[in-house]
Chains A and B, each alone.
Chain A
Amino acid sequence: GQQVKQSSPSLTVQEGGISILNCDYENDMFDYFAWYKKYPDNSPTLLISVRSNVDKREDGRLTVFLNKSGKHFSLHITASQPEDTAVYLCAAGRQQGTGSKLSFGKGAKLTVSP
């Protein structure tokens, strides 16, 4: 089954507002959590990530919150702009053998309206 789930496939936010995207995971072995941004017909771009030993990481308008006990992480985008309109993919990673593996959610479409 799908190990990483984005339950809300779409979200619309007014310009200047806060966008909150959510992701739930199942595997306790995940120790890396990331958000990717994807425009139509483009490839995913890594936005921000956090390791399992921290609960929060900020980078400009982006903040990732990690709730390990709830197996949940989220991306908050403050002062949302129309150019933030895109599909956002969450990903969780775990060590596997001598390497690592990412599992992706299906994505959530964020629309920021002017």
Chain B
Amino acid sequence: DSGVVQSPRHIIKEKGGRSVLTCIPISGHSNVVWYQQTLGKELKFLIQHYEKVERDKGFLPSRFSVQQFDDYHSEMNMSALELEDSAMYFCASSLALGYLSYEQYFGPGTRLTVL
């Protein structure tokens, strides 16, 4: 499967806990975007990296940090988890060239439940 890979697929954490979500983009894609979706809400843009540099930050809480590595995979470190962090977290990747950067391909998502 040459699609975007996300892990873990499901995770349950206690309030105040920590978690790490991983995203492996499609080979050749250096643009990685993270979104959050809570039930019934729109996809909320969190943060975007390409070529290992943060390019834009949206609704990413200060308790979360995201890093893109040399092989373009991305990790989201989440700390001091709150109940409202419960959501699906999608990452999407694309090429970083002009209009091609718009064509984002989504991973299967990680469902985070905070209890």
User: A residues bordering B, Cβ < 8 Å?
Assistant: 2, 32, 34, 36, 42-46, 49, 51, 89, 93, 96-107
Contacts and interface: CB of A to CB of B under 8 A. Distances in A.
B45 A42 contact: no
Nearest to A46: B103
B61 to A, nearest CB: 19
Interface string B4-28: 0000000000000000000000000
A96 B105 contact: no
Contacts, number: 56
A102 B32 CA distance: 12
Given A43-B108, A44-B43, A97 B55 contact: yes
A89 B56 contact: no
Contacts of B79: none
Given A34-B102, A97-B56, A100-B101, A43 B42 contact: no
